[in-house]
Amino acid sequence: MKALPNLITLLNLFFGSIAAVFAVLNHLEWAAIFFLLGVICDFLDGLVARALGVQSELGIQLDSLADLVTSGLVPGLVMCQMLGMSLSGGWNSGSFFADALARDGWLEAWLPFAGLIITLASAWRLARFNIDENQVSSFIGLPTPANALLIISLPLIVLYNGSEFTNALLLNPWLLGGLTLLSAYLLNSPIRLFALKFKGWGFAENAVKYIFLGVSAVLVITLQYLAIPLVILFYILLAVVGKKSA
C-alpha cells in the first residue's frame, strides 16, 4: 500500500507520455484525453498519499517529473502544432513535426518550435515549487495543470466549439505567439492563487472557492470547451481582486 501513491504518479507519467505521442502526431483530441487521465492521476496521488500517511521526498520529486511531461511537454507540443497550422494556412490534420524541415520558409520551419517555451517555463515553475515552502495552501503563479488545460483547450474549441471568428482568432500566429509568452509569464508570475483544498466545508471560509466552482460549472455547461479559457481567466481575476480587497 505504501507504494500506491507512487504507482499512481507513474500512471500520470504514462498517460502524459501517450498524450505527448498523440500531440506529435497531431491527434490533438486524443492528446487531450490522455492529458486529462494524467491530471486525474496527479490529483489522486497526493490524495492517496495523505490518506495513507505515506508522503515522501521521493514521491514529491517523482510527481514533479511526471507533471513536467503531462502538464509541461504536452501543452508545449500542442502549441507547436497550433503555430505550425497558423503559419501554413489554417487547420489541417498533418503534423508540423513530420514536415517541419520540408517547409519552404525559415519562419514556417522553425518558428512553431517557440511553443516549447511553455515547456521550459513549466520546468522552471515546477523546480521553483519544489524548493518553495510558501506554496502549501496556495500557489504563486499559475499551476502547470491549469496552464496546460488552457493551451490544450484551444484545438478542442476549433474542432468542436468554434465559429468562423473564433477559429480565425485561435489560428492567428500573433495571438498564439502572444499567448505562449503570456503562458510562460503566468506560470512564473508573483500572483498568489488559491488552491482547491478544503480544510472544512463551511461557506464563510471557502466562499471564493465555492463561487469559483459554481461559476465554472455554469460556464462549462453553457459554453463547453470555450468555457475553459474563461474559467482560467476567472481564476486569475478572483485572486487579483481578492488580494486588492484583503
Q: Are 162 and 227 a contacting pair, CB within 8 Å?
A: no
C-alpha cell, 111: 518558428
Of 118, 245, 239, the closest CA to residue 188 belongs to 118
C-alpha cell, 57: 521526498
Domain contains 83:
yes
Distance CA 7, CA 187 (A): 27
98: domain range?
A: 4-194
Q: Are 116 and 63 a contacting pair, CB within 8 Å?
A: no
Question: Residue 167's domain is classified under what CATH number?
Answer: 1.20.120
Kindly give the confidence (pLDDT) of every residue in the chain, 246 residues in length, as a single tens digit, with 9 standing for 90 and above.
Answer: 778 889 999 999 999 999 999 999 999 999 999 999 999 999 898 888 878 877 777 888 899 999 999 999 999 999 999 999 998 888 888 898 988 777 777 777 889 999 999 999 999 999 998 887 666 667 889 999 999 999 999 999 999 987 888 999 999 999 999 999 999 999 999 888 887 765 555 555 667 778 888 999 999 999 999 999 999 999 998 877 765 544
What is this structure's pTM? 0.91
Domain contains 207:
no
| Neighbouring C-beta atoms of residue 134, cutoff 10 Å | 9
**What's the structural domain count of the chain?**
1
Domain contains 238:
no
Domain contains 228:
no
Domain contains 143:
yes
> What residue type is assigned to position 16 of the chain?
G
Domain contains 218:
no
pLDDT at 198: 56
